A and B are shown apart, each in its own frame.
Chain A
Amino acid sequence: MTPDATGGHWVYNANNSYSRHHYVRLSDLPKGAPAVVDRVDDAHQADPIAQRLRDLGFVDGEPVRVVAVGPMGGDPLLVQIGFTRFALRRAEAARVAVREEAA
């Protein structure tokens, strides 16, 4: 994968095609926009919050959506993952990189 100027990545797909995905942080995803989890990044070494996010189902390929935001400063976010809704603070959601379902 090579990052390009727009912050997206060229991804080699299983069906021998290339496609470009735009990665955004879950914390920057607009409310209601459908997306797919790419990965969870550790904020520091052995980050227990990142590990817990992975355990909760924030793993590559999982559909994700911001369904509501808190009344004060848009924090926390209410995130739908799998069949479950989790309240995540923006700092927690920023660990999750997602691909927008544009293509």
Chain B
Amino acid sequence: MLSRSGHPLRIALVGNPNCGKTALFNQLTGGRQKVANYAGVTVERKEGRFTAPSGRMLQILDLPGTYSLEANSPDEQITRDVCAGSFPGEAVPDLIVCVADATNLRLHLRFVLEVKRLGRPVVLALNMMDTARQRGIVIDVPELQRRLGLPVVETVAVKRGGARGLIERVDGEVPVAVPAQPDDAASRSDLHAQVRDLLAATVTMPRTTAALDDALDRWALHPVFGLAILAVVMFLVFQVVYAAGKPMSDLIGAGFGWMGEHVAVLMPAGPLQSLVVNGLFGGLGTVIGFLPVILVLFLFILTLEESGYLPRAAFLLDRLMLSVGLTGRSFIPLLSSFACAIPGIMGTRSIQDPRDRLATILIAPLMTCSARLPVYALLIGAFIPVHLVFGVFNLQGIVLFALYLAGILGAMAVGWVMKHIRRDKNEHALLMELPSYRMPKIRDVAIGLYERGGIFMKRLTGVILGLTVLMWFISTFPAPPAGATGPAINYSFAGYLGHGLQYIFAPIGFNWQVSLALIPAFAARETAVAALATVYLVGGDAVGGLGHALAGQLSLASALSLLVWFAYAPQCMSTLAIIRRETNSWRNVAISFGYMFVLAYAASFIVYQVTRMLT
């Protein structure tokens, strides 16, 4: 059954951040959600449908959380405009469901009053009623309903059937809207007085905060123990990423390689076979190989976010991040980028401020991701002697550490420079709520994981696969002439490109072989090892043999320069694709590529020339 005007009943969910709105949305719609962006902006739009017991179709829009309709950011503007019915391309909601945390009514009721003044039909969902009862909070719901003049229902978003009262209410008659009221400074301060009166008349609270939060925060926010706890949490995350995510990624890569080989047997040798084996299966292996690392990292990010710990981590590190033009919330995405920049960049969605978010996205690729390790291992093994420094430190280890440090220092420098050259030098506030600690619900984490995985697979697979096939094409065609003695890639477009690039890269010490290997490395860094093996005509990719060949062909200065190049170079194309997707702008991709190229070139130039002078 449709509503009277002939469309499904359109419901907009609004509420303060941390009111449990998204959990309620998940409860109502289950996995049946459509995630996209609002037209023209990079704010996530989540919509779901379900059929009410009466058979009526309900269409629910989960609007971005906001403290006020006086919007300060693009996502808050969307909430304001959709509620007011003035957002282009969005239908006016038939009903607004305003969600409020029953344990935090001093803050949340003010927003309820603000929404009520819009003059649209509103239902108030008092969420987290179970927690409120546990904490001894007593709410006189009938009296609250009478004084507000709005229907009030109790919900427990995290419990099965916890939204039943809400479903029954929205399935019934749409409540009559109260007339719209003017919005001016005087009436805004009135709202606080009204909230105080409402609270005095309808709510009794034994204490203002949860005892558990106070106890946990004494440790979690402690200047010494807090930082120690954060370090332990992050250490565990990385242990799991490398113990579970990375082997799974390698397994997937190997699996696609194996499948490619077996398909190859069925096909005649030739360009088509090469396309299928190297282009298609190789490309799919690369793309899907990212997935386990992304999912493991997001499992942690979502769990930390749901539990309320993420803002605590941001609190501890805000000052440090602010000194390089970022915010405390940048920390977790940047740390994730040490495994892979893709989940790191996707994780910046927890940064509400667009300027801080973009700054974090731009420097995330400078963190040393796990794909750089094979290249580092090869070059360090070939050129840096196993030599003890001060009798205890291995020189190879010191060089590896220096490369990680170079990434971090480079990121800090870039952040600092951006802070000083960007046009928007206004103060951007932290103003971050530290919500109550909560046990993360499996369903909410699972839905979040499914969404992130889906975004990666749907939006990126095509782009990355296309680029991989393009890379295959330019490395394969034209085929080497009959009787050719050099490696096949030498005669291809990539070969010409590599020979051309060596003039650009000569000042930083790269010969044509290295320049050529950089082309496939753009698809995925770790393929640089295989590419070097190919151009140096080393059978297989036996790293020992390749290391030996490299040591004979490259000078120490060139090798160090190449290491530094990999620390800063604009790579990989999957990262650039995700920047395009998350910022919806090719300009940001160009900025990202451009600054990293200049940074890598300058750093490699200095390292090459200085090493040559010293050796």
Contact = CB atoms under 8 A, between A and B. Distances in A.
A49 B318 contact: no
B320 A87 contact: no
Contacts of B328: 76, 87
A71 B72 contact: no
Nearest to A63: B208
Interface in A32-51: 43, 48-49, 51
Nearest to B210: A83
A83 B227 contact: no
B104 A83 contact: yes
A76 B106 contact: no
B433 A85 contact: yes
Interface string A33-77: 000000000010000110111111101001000011111110110
B434 A92 contact: no
A69 B316 CA distance: 9
A70 B318 contact: yes
Interface string B169-201: 000000000000000000011001000000000
A89 interface: yes
A88 B217 contact: no
A71 B189 CA distance: 35
Interface stretch (B218-226, B299-307, B399-407): B218-226
A76 B430 contact: yes
B103 interface: yes
Interface string B307-327: 000010011101110100000
A59 B193 CA distance: 10
A87 B67 contact: no
A10 interface: no
Determine the main DSSP class of A at the interface with B. mixed
A39 to B, nearest CB: 10
Given A52-B431, A55-B70, A92-B431, A83 B188 contact: no
Given A55-B70, A88-B431, A89-B322, A76 B315 contact: yes
Contacts of B104: 82-84
A3 B225 CA distance: 43
B433 A52 contact: no
Contacts of A12: none
A17 B226 CA distance: 47
Contacts of B431: 49, 52-53, 56, 86-88, 92
Nearest to A85: B434
B501 to A, nearest CB: 44
A88 B227 contact: no
A67 B215 CA distance: 12
Interface of B: 67-68, 70, 72, 103-107, 110, 188-189, 192, 205, 208-209, 213, 217, 221, 223-224, 226-227, 311, 314-316, 318-320, 322, 328, 427, 429-434
26 contacts: A48-B72, A52-B70, A52-B72, A54-B188, A55-B70, A55-B188, A56-B107, A56-B431, A68-B217, A70-B223, A70-B319, A71-B227, A71-B319, A72-B319, A75-B318, A76-B315, A78-B315, A83-B208, A84-B106, A86-B432, A86-B433, A86-B434, A87-B315, A87-B318, A87-B430, A88-B429
